[in-house]
């Protein structure tokens, strides 16, 4: 049976089960990805105030780690059901997931003296400055559509491109599409997985392109990015195939 892929995310992907299984606890892998996203998104080399979370899924994990100077944030995903989870949270509606453990951990990373006060301020920041939730399609030359003519200062993307691409050639092309959303000197913060071929959500298996770090760095070079820093670590993930894999987080600048 073929692995689920592409528009299958619009009607066969369960955002609630995904959040519970992949973000519902602070395991070693989540601690690694959250910590390094926090480090890179708060890096002093990042300038400007426009931030795009591309392929956000139903997850706030990346945006919780962003510094408060970002005052124009757009979150984009292919699946309307993923964006609906975020929209409902933004509107104060009850969703079947609690982000408190991620807020608390990020507050500790930030050295907050009062975790509750920091969390309240961060929630207010997100609800004020996440300006738009939009659909995106990385397979398109204009992945956000023709309305987005102004470039972003920073693009954050997390476990996205390898779910969309079916080949290394597509991965390279899709990364160029993402690069088009940044000006020269803009920054990319990306986290993804190496050697993974599939992952399971609610007993449904979704495609993941098997990548090596050489593949990733070659694709970044092809898209005119210079890798400034990259951190990787090996983990065991029971819902992934194979379960032993490597996760990386990197910071790159567009030439």
Burial of 247 (0-12, 13-18, 19+ CB in 10 A): buried
Q: ∠ CA 57-83-165 to the nearest 5 degrees?
A: 40
Sole residue written with tokens 């299984």? 21
Beta strands at 244-254 and 225-236: parallel, antiparallel or unpaired: antiparallel
pLDDT in tens, the chain (255 residues): 689 999 999 999 999 999 999 999 999 999 999 999 999 999 999 999 999 999 999 999 999 999 999 999 999 999 999 999 999 999 999 899 999 999 999 999 999 999 999 999 999 999 999 999 999 999 999 999 998 888 999 999 999 999 999 999 999 999 999 999 999 999 999 999 999 999 999 999 999 999 999 999 999 999 999 999 999 999 999 999 999 999 999 999 999
Q: In the chain, what is the straight-line distance between the N-terminal and C-terminal CA atoms, in Å?
A: 42
Walk me through the domains of the chain, giving residue ranges and CATH numbers. Answer: 8-254 (3.40.50.150)
């Amino acid at each position: 049976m073929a692995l689920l892929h592409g528009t299958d995310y619009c009607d066969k992907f369960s955002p609630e089960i995904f959040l519970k299984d992949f973000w519902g606890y602070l395991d070693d892998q989540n601690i690694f990805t959250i910590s390094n996203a926090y480090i890179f998104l708060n890096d002093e080399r990042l300038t400007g105030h426009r931030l795009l979370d591309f392929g956000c899924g139903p997850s706030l994990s990346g945006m919780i780690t962003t510094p408060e100077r970002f005052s124009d944030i757009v979150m984009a995903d292919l699946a309307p059901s993923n964006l609906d989870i975020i929209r409902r949270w933004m509107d104060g509606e009850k969703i079947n997931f609690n982000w408190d453990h991620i807020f608390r951990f990020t507050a500790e990373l930030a050295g907050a003296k009062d975790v509750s006060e920091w969390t309240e301020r961060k929630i207010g920041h997100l609800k004020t400055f996440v300006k738009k939730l939009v659909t995106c399609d990385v397979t398109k030359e204009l992945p956000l559509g023709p309305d987005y003519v102004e470039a972003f200062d920073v693009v954050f993307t997390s476990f996205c491109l390898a779910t969309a691409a079916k080949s290394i050639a597509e991965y390279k092309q899709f990364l160029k599409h993402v690069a088009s959303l940044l000006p020269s000197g803009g920054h990319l913060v990306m986290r993804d997985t190496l050697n993974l071929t599939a992952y399971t959500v609610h007993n449904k298996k979704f495609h993941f392109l098997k990548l090596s770090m050489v593949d990733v760095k070659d694709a970044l070079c092809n898209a005119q990015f210079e890798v400034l820093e990259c951190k990787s670590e090996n983990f065991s993930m029971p819902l992934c195939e194979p379960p032993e894999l490597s996760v990386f987080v990197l910071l790159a600048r567009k030439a």
